[in-house]
Copies of this chain bind each other. A is one copy, B any other.
Amino acid sequence: MRITAEQIQKENESQKEIHGFAFDYLSNTLECQGISVAAIIEQIKAFQVAIPSWALGAGGTRFGRFSFYGEPSTLSQKLEDVGVLHALTKSAGSISLHIPWDVPEDYTAIKEQAKTLGLVFDAVNSNTFQDQKGAKTSYKFGSLSSIDEASRVQAIAHNQEVISIGKKLGSKSITVWLADGANFPGQVNFQTAIQQTEKSLHQIYADLPKDWKMFIEYKPFEPNFYSTVIQDWGTSFMLANSCGKKAYTLVDLGHHLPNTNIEQIVATLMLRGKLGGFHFNDSKYGDDDLTVGSIKPYALFLIFNELVYGMANNPENPSPAWMIDASHNIKDPLEDLLQSLEAILEAYAKALLVDQLALRESQKQQDVVGCQEILQAAYRTDVRPLLAAARAKAGGCLNPIHAYRNLAVRSKLIQERGKHNVASGL
């Protein structure tokens, strides 16, 4: 199914008055503070977040999975779903594919469909954490880091194949999430594992087209529960430096030990020009993959404060590739993603409101109370009218979730696809 411009316009009609009232108040208030509302709306409008193909179906845990009706089972249906999100929000303009789950059968058709929906292909993702049917060797004990040469060779070749698929689709980057590690002390020689990983990454990097980037993700634990080869940003950063200029660190919000100060990591990476990719989600305990902003919205704001600062002050750091990486265990995946998109843009908008000059001055004065007042003044502002305005200006919905429900999108998807359609992949 596709959502038409007419449908959106009709939806917006019903929200227009209440939005106008709120927007007028907010823009007056902000303009009085010397903030250009128009400029901020343009920045919000320009912010595009990739949707990963695997996030369109229901997720689960090791204890099971409760299915959701009307899930997409083909790459084309996945594009269709992202198309719905983009039509409603105008901020989900790209899709991130996972290989081997999403190998296109007909590249031309897929590219054509994406174009029609206004979507581009973001980073492609490799998978060496599962064995595929018919695989010559297993990744049970590791892939790029493995002590077993056959596993490494297979994993390198797989990553190279992912690049070649991405090239055909117009992707410009590959994300390597290396799940390798150990469940028990002694299982793996740490030094050997990191050395093998480094060599393997060099080989993949050697295959990288000139205008591509390689994102190296890190994660402290899961699916391995004693050690993970690329356990933290320090390891990823070290490997990215070893690979070369086109290699970057990728930060996933859920991939940190308890209490980690993530915003400081972001700042350090941007200072060094090495923040390449960013995966959004939220969590309370581990890599919980919950809706963005559902648990720690202030932490998200503080992170965006560093991102906004870095984008303005670190020209050598490329614009990071943004993606939502969440798992939808009990919510409708599309509604969940709409909530995530809203939370991302909210944090971004609030960060844009931070009075950077005043903050700098208060920092110089070592006025800690003043610094906090400045940050909190931005955070406490209700920016929902700005997001709605930016969406509407771009042709999207003032209130996407309301529209999604009003247009009965899920029922229509079930009608088209049936209840027990199963998403490929997880």
Q: Verify if A205 is at the interface (C-beta below 8 Å from B).
A: no
Instruction: Give the complex CA separation of A246 and B61 in angstroms.
Output: 32
Q: Which of A214-264 contact B (CB under 8 A)?
A: 220-223, 225-227, 231-235, 237-238, 257-261, 263-264
One of B260, B298, B305, B329 near A183 (C-beta < 8 A): B329
Q: Which of A194, A234, A346, A363 has most chain B Cβ within 10 Å?
A: A234
Q: A62-B59, A258-B259, A271-B194 are in contact. Are A141 and B366 (CB under 8 A)?
A: yes
Contact yes or no, B237 A234, CB < 8 A: yes
Instruction: Give the complex CA separation of A226 and B372 in angstroms.
Output: 12
Q: A296-B296, A298-B296 are in contact. Are A227 and B261 (CB under 8 A)?
A: yes
Q: Which of A61, A184, A294, A305 has most chain B Cβ within 10 Å?
A: A184
Task: Determine the chain B residues whose CB is within 8 A of the CB of A183 once the complex forms.
Answer: 288, 290, 329-331, 368
Q: A59-B62, A141-B330, A401-B373 are in contact. Are A286 and B286 (CB under 8 A)?
A: yes
Contact yes or no, A233 B234, CB < 8 A: yes
Contact yes or no, A291 B184, CB < 8 A: yes
Contact yes or no, B64 A238, CB < 8 A: no
One of B225, B227, B306, B373 near A190 (C-beta < 8 A): B306
Contact yes or no, A225 B283, CB < 8 A: yes
Instruction: Give the complex CA separation of A414 and B42 in angstroms.
Output: 49
> Which of these binds chain B: A72-80, A103-111, A380-388?
A380-388
Instruction: Give the complex CA separation of A188 and B401 in angstroms.
Output: 21
**Distance of A126 from chain B, by nearest CB (Å):** 14
Q: A140-B330, A257-B258 are in contact. Are A294 and B66 (CB under 8 A)?
A: no
> Which of these binds chain B: A92-100, A166-174, A332-340?
A332-340
Q: Verify if A392 is at the interface (C-beta below 8 Å from B).
A: no
Q: Verify if A191 is at the interface (C-beta below 8 Å from B).
A: yes
Q: Verify if A284 is at the interface (C-beta below 8 Å from B).
A: yes
Task: Determine the chain B residues whose CB is within 8 A of the CB of A259 once the complex forms.
Answer: 220-221, 257-258, 284-285
Q: Which of A347-396 contact B (CB under 8 A)?
A: 359-360, 362-364, 366, 368-369, 371-376, 379-382, 384
